[in-house]
Amino acid sequence: MMPWLAVTLDLDAEAAEAFGDALLAAGAQSVALEPGRLSAILQPHADANALVAAAAESAGVATPRFSAQQLEDCDWVRASQAQFAPLRLGRLWIGATWHEPPPDAAALARIDPGIAFGTGSHPSTKLILDFLERTLAGGERVLDYGCGSGILAIAAAKLGAASIDAVDVDAQAVEATVMNARLNQVEVRALAPESLPPASYDLVLSNILLQPLVLLAPLLAARTAQAGRIALAGILEAQADELIAACTPWFDAAATARDDGWALVTGVRR
Residue 3's pLDDT band (cuts 50, 70, 90): low
Cβ neighbours for 47, distance < 8 A, ≥ 6 positions apart: none
pLDDT at 34 over 80: no
pLDDT in tens, 130-186: 999 999 999 999 999 999 889 999 999 999 999 999 999 888 889 989 999 999 999
Specify whether 193 is located in the same domain as 61.
no
Whole-angstrom distance, CA of residue 151 vs CA of residue 52: 24
Asked if the structure places residue 107 within a domain, the reply is: no
Q: Are 155 and 130 spatial neighbours (Cβ–Cβ below 8 Å)?
A: no
| pLDDT number for residue 114 | 54
Packed helices 123-135 and 151-158: angle between N→C axes, nearest 10 degrees: 20
Q: How far is CA 104 from the centre of its chain?
A: 26
Specify whether 64 is located in the same domain as 197.
no
Whole-angstrom distance, CA of residue 75 vs CA of residue 26: 20
Please give the residue that has the higher pLDDT: either 255 or 124.
255
Please give the residue that has the higher pLDDT: either 99 or 143.
143
Specify whether 67 is located in the same domain as 176.
no
Please give the residue that has the higher pLDDT: either 116 or 105.
105
Asked if the structure places residue 181 within a domain, the reply is: yes
User: Residue 60 is part of a domain; what is its CATH number?
Assistant: 3.30.70.100
What is the extent of the structural domain holding 256?
116-269
Asked if the structure places residue 207 within a domain, the reply is: yes
User: Residue 211 is part of a domain; what is its CATH number?
Assistant: 3.40.50.150
pLDDT in tens, 58-96: 888 889 889 988 865 444 445 444 456 788 999 999 987
Specify whether 68 is located in the same domain as 123.
no
Phi, psi of 184 (to 5 degrees): -90, 0
pLDDT at 206 over 90: yes
Out of 21, 56, 76, a domain closes at: 76
Q: Are 123 and 103 spatial neighbours (Cβ–Cβ below 8 Å)?
A: no
Number of independent structural domains in the chain? 2
Out of 28, 55, 76, a domain closes at: 76
Mean residue pLDDT across the chain? 86
Closest by alpha carbon to 226, among 201, 247, 197?
A: 201
Out of 76, 98, 126, a domain closes at: 76
Specify whether 164 is located in the same domain as 52.
no
Dmax over Cα atoms in the chain, in whole Å?
A: 52
Specify whether 19 is located in the same domain as 150.
no
Asked if the structure places residue 37 within a domain, the reply is: yes
Specify whether 48 is located in the same domain as 128.
no
Specify whether 158 is located in the same domain as 261.
yes
